[in-house]
Structure 1
Amino acid sequence: PQDVYEYLRFVHDCNRERNLRLRAQLREAVAALNRRGIVPLLLKGAVPLFLAPAGQAPSRMTSDLDLAVEPAKAAAAQICLEELGYVEVAGERGMAREQDAGMLELRARRAIDFEPPKLVQHDDLWVNIPTAQSRALHWIVHDLFKEGDYWRGRIDLRHLHDLAQLAETENVDWSALQASMSDRSARNALDTQLLALHHFFGTRIPARCARRPIVRFQHWRRVFTATHPIIGAPLRLAGNLIWGTRRFLSARGSARGGSSDFARRIARTLLLPSAKI
């Protein structure tokens, strides 16, 4: 219908304009870091934004910019960004300026890369770009473990689509990623995500992903709670309770902002809907 087309075109145009602003913001930050002798590692949506040709921008909706630096250079990078006007945002993981389209999250680089990143020069700017294997691993670890989607039964369809596109354009070796998982629980989580990837986007995955009953059950649970939000509520609550308990035990009763902040985060964990679809 024409009205639907016009609405989607409006959203697309607004997102394109925002992505162009995000790219300019990213290039400014990279240039400032390079002048300090720091070559950042780009993560998630920052990669296609940086690599897009001049005057063009990817259609992906990007919420913020994620950069990582070597731990020894984290303090210098922080000062560098503060000199550009960035300030820490209370209660958030990131820095921001009033004039920007999105936040910038600077983190210390962790040794979770599947392979060493590639040093890339683009318009006199230097960055490190994770390989396709490492980018896939980062998305999976972030969603399933850091955000708890494996236990909570949630599906981040946007990141799943990113994985599908990555698998289509790059040679992602899922079997090698499976072999790199540290334990059975991690392998179960990876296989569950791969089943979702095949279910929603038809991505080719290793046949052995669906062999274990726990993996098939977890996949069914995630899809069921996403497509049946009312009758799937008990499964959602059970998953949130498991995830909340894990976070409580790992935190040992402490919290970043004190006991009241910890209580709010526990309540948010239990009450948020399970599916991001």
Structure 2
Amino acid sequence: MPPVDVEWTSVIGLANRTLTTPALIDFVGKYESMLPEDVCAYIRNIHRRNELRNNRLLAQLEEAVVAMNRLGITPIMLKGTSTLATAPEERRGVRIMSDLDIIVMPDEAKMAIAALCAIGYDIDYQTPAESQRWHVELSRSQDVGTIDLQQAAPGPAYLYQSIGQALNHCVIAPLGSGRVYIPTPVYRALTLIIHDQFQDYGYWLGDLDLRHLVELRDLNDSAEGLDWEKLASLVSGELMKNAVETQLVALSGLLGVDIPQTMRSRLIPRLQFMRQLMQARFPSTRLLFLAMTALDLGNYRNAANGAWQAAAHPRRSWSLPKVDTLQFLLKAAVAVRTGKV
């Protein structure tokens, strides 16, 4: 039920900040008679505009996919792009998207770029050749979003060592007149979590990405649902386990998703969730709570360097982070980042 005596301007402000305003359409549909008229009108307007934008993104995606298909490339839909490709028409306006994330195989990258440039795309940015993680951003003036072309799932490669290639967790599906690979719900959930916790440094900074929590909830509520045992089987190492379970504790605590007790009862994930809530309510505590990175510093080095190296240098695994790492985290902790609280 809607809380009593709500300051709706603040609620809408927080929804705008977390990019979740269109998702409130379900709340409006259920409790319209109990909500202020201007609140309902605003949410409906934002949802309608986002639906129009996502319809344009879907048409843009289909055109790009067909162009790549002509060269024998079947791309993998990543993160929100897989949601856009599979969402029923009536649910297409719920999620705000900034770009189209697409994976192609490393030996297909040049052909994929050529296919997109042939239909009018320009390269806005391409990572240097020596970069550990390759991606290219492409855009056209007539489109509402860019294409982010990648060669691998988000986050550090060592987190996927026990999971295998993304294609092992995909099924082929039609997209308009094209064809794509769609990751399974469990793999989509895992890549969303890894993206938030490691590629966006949310685990180290104590950030909450409410938009992605809503998407995880919707994945669990979908016809296929989420197989929690399968998700647990894909998680290896203490660092990844702590990060995934932190997200699941938040999913249960904030959105009421029924998560197995064994996946939301351990101490470090629960402490991390308490930190997230404290930082959201009192942003001035963000720098203070950076000290919690020490909880997983050894686990991080074990995962990044390999267990054999940690065994050879057991004391090193608990040494302080490098100076440039601390400087990066301090700067990121006080930065205003879209969609994060």
TM-score normalised over the length of structure 2: 0.68
- CA separation in 1, counterparts of 2:145 and 2:273? 33
Provide the residue aligned with 2:340 in structure 1. 276
Q: CA deviation at 1:123?
A: 3.3
- CA separation in 1, counterparts of 2:53 and 2:78? 18
The reply on whether 1:22 has 2:60 as its aligned counterpart is: no
Provide the residue aligned with 1:12 in structure 2. 47
Amino acid in structure 1 at the alignment position of 2:77: L
- CA separation in 1, counterparts of 2:108 and 2:166? 18
- CA separation in 2, counterparts of 1:113 and 1:177? 14
Q: CA deviation at 1:94?
A: 1.6
SS in structure 2 of the partner of residue 119 of structure 1:
strand
How far does the alpha carbon of each residue in 1:192-214 deviate from its partner, in whole angstroms, 9 at most, with x for none? 11000001111111212233221
Q: CA deviation at 1:157?
A: 0.4
Provide the residue aligned with 1:48 in structure 2. 83
- 4+ residue runs over 4 A deviation: 52-56, 90-93, 236-243, 264-268
The reply on whether 1:177 has 2:231 as its aligned counterpart is: yes
How far does the alpha carbon of each residue in 1:148-185 deviate from its partner, in whole angstroms, 9 at most, with x for none? 11111001000011001101113312233223222111
**Are the aligned partners of 1:15 and 1:59 in contact in 2 as well (CA < 8 Å)?**
yes
Q: CA deviation at 1:84?
A: 1.7
Moved more, 162-171 or 4-13: 4-13
Larger radius of gyration: 2
Structure 2 residue corresponding to 1:80, chosen from 115, 121, 128: 115
Provide the residue aligned with 1:64 in structure 2. 99
Matched pairs, number: 261
- CA separation in 2, counterparts of 1:3 and 1:159? 27
Provide the residue aligned with 1:148 in structure 2. 201
Q: CA 1:90–1:113 in structure 2 vs 1: closer, same or farther (change >3 Å)? A: closer
SS in structure 2 of the partner of residue 120 of structure 1:
strand
Provide the residue aligned with 1:196 in structure 2. 250
Amino acid in structure 2 at the alignment position of 1:104: I
**Are the aligned partners of 1:20 and 1:56 in contact in 2 as well (CA < 8 Å)?**
no
**Are the aligned partners of 1:120 and 1:129 in contact in 2 as well (CA < 8 Å)?**
yes
Provide the residue aligned with 2:148 in structure 1. 105
Amino acid in structure 2 at the alignment position of 1:5: C
- CA separation in 2, counterparts of 1:138 and 1:276? 17
Q: CA 1:54–1:215 in structure 2 vs 1: closer, same or farther (change >3 Å)? A: closer
Amino acid in structure 2 at the alignment position of 1:215: P
Q: CA 1:210–1:133 in structure 2 vs 1: closer, same or farther (change >3 Å)? A: closer
Moved more, 52-61 or 155-164: 52-61
Amino acid in structure 2 at the alignment position of 1:101: V
Structure 2 residue corresponding to 1:226, chosen from 254, 261, 280: 280
Moved more, 136-145 or 206-215: 206-215
Provide the residue aligned with 2:17 in structure 1. none
Provide the residue aligned with 1:125 in structure 2. 178
SS in structure 2 of the partner of residue 4 of structure 1:
helix
Q: CA deviation at 1:134?
A: 0.7
- CA separation in 1, counterparts of 2:105 and 2:200? 23
Moved more, 210-219 or 198-207: 210-219
**Are the aligned partners of 2:205 and 2:329 in contact in 1 as well (CA < 8 Å)?**
no
- CA separation in 1, counterparts of 2:329 and 2:88? 43
- CA separation in 1, counterparts of 2:112 and 2:230? 34
The CA RMSD measured in Å over matched residues stands at 3.1
TM-score normalised over the length of structure 1: 0.83
**Which structure 2 residue ranges, 5 or more long, are not aligned?**
1-35, 128-135, 154-163, 305-324
**Are the aligned partners of 2:62 and 2:176 in contact in 1 as well (CA < 8 Å)?**
no
SS in structure 1 of the partner of residue 174 of structure 2:
strand
